[in-house]
A and B are shown apart, each in its own frame.
Chain A
Amino acid sequence: GIQVEQSPPDLILQEGANSTLRCNFSDSVNNLQWFHQNPWGQLINLFYIPSGTKQNGRLSATTVATERYSLLYISSSQTTDSGVYFCAVSSPNNAGNMLTFGGGTRLMVKP
């Protein structure tokens, strides 16, 4: 099945810093989503971005499907950005539209 790798696995930032999270995938995809998991376990949808670039406030994302990667940019980070960020993809070869998740990037933003 499709493999998803996220980097870095852990990231510590000072409040106000910028960061880039990366997601590599091993096959063509028809869905790519970025999620933020809060301390209570809820997965919050950040972007649905199988290709192209999107922006939402301080967050933006770019997916280059032909090169099999996606990037999540966080600018002017805040302590509330702390948590785990997951990239998840579905492939035309997957059953239904099941999502395969990467291992996540654990972000801590210090005040």
Chain B
Amino acid sequence: DAGVTQSPTHLIKTRGQHVTLRCSPISGHKSVSWYQQVLGQGPQFIFQYYEKEERGRGNFPDRFSARQFPNYSSELNVNALLLGDSALYLCASSLHMVIGTEAFFGQGTRLTVV
């Protein structure tokens, strides 16, 4: 079975541009979460979606938005890119939102803003 897949793997954007990152969860998993990992730090929670609804949001500005589609795949959108948005963006998939469910991560999208 395929694991969590993310696309693209690498991306270079210019300040002020918009970016869309994509994630496909493990087959049968209904929850997708997004994390940002800047160099030298642990991942930080951005969003969680379950059954196409936002179920949690981290401390990120409104330039960050996301959605989940009927097939449970997800997109993360970032508007008006800043240099500080350069990071590894990780998508996590879990079976459901029941407390304590194990999460599985994709390989990430490495975004560089110049």
The minimal Cβ–Cβ distance linking A89 to chain B, given in whole angstroms, is: 10
A96 touching B50, Cβ below 8 Å: yes
Contacts of A40 in B (CB 8 A): 107
Within 8 A of B (CB), among A57-111: 86, 88, 90, 92, 94-104
Closest to A92 in B: B99
Asked whether any CB of chain B lies closer than 8 Å to the CB of A33, the reply is yes
The minimal Cβ–Cβ distance linking A53 to chain B, given in whole angstroms, is: 17
Contacts of A56 in B (CB 8 A): none
Asked whether any CB of chain A lies closer than 8 Å to the CB of B42, the reply is yes
Please tell me the number of chain A residues within 8 Å of chain B, measured between CB atoms. Answer: 27
Per a CB cutoff under 8 Å, which of B37, B45, B88, B97 touches A100?
B45
Asked whether any CB of chain B lies closer than 8 Å to the CB of A30, the reply is yes
Main SS at interface, chain B: strand
Given known contacts A43-B90, A95-B57, A98-B58, A35 and B100 CB-to-CB distance under 8 angstroms: no
The minimal Cβ–Cβ distance linking A56 to chain B, given in whole angstroms, is: 14
Closest to B59 in A: A1
Q: Which residues of chain B have a CB within 8 Å of any CB of chain A?
A: 31, 33, 35, 37, 41-45, 48, 50, 55-58, 88, 90, 92, 94, 97-108, 110
Q: Which residues of chain A have a CB within 8 Å of any CB of chain B?
A: 4, 30-31, 33, 35, 40-43, 45, 48, 50, 86, 88, 90, 92, 94-104
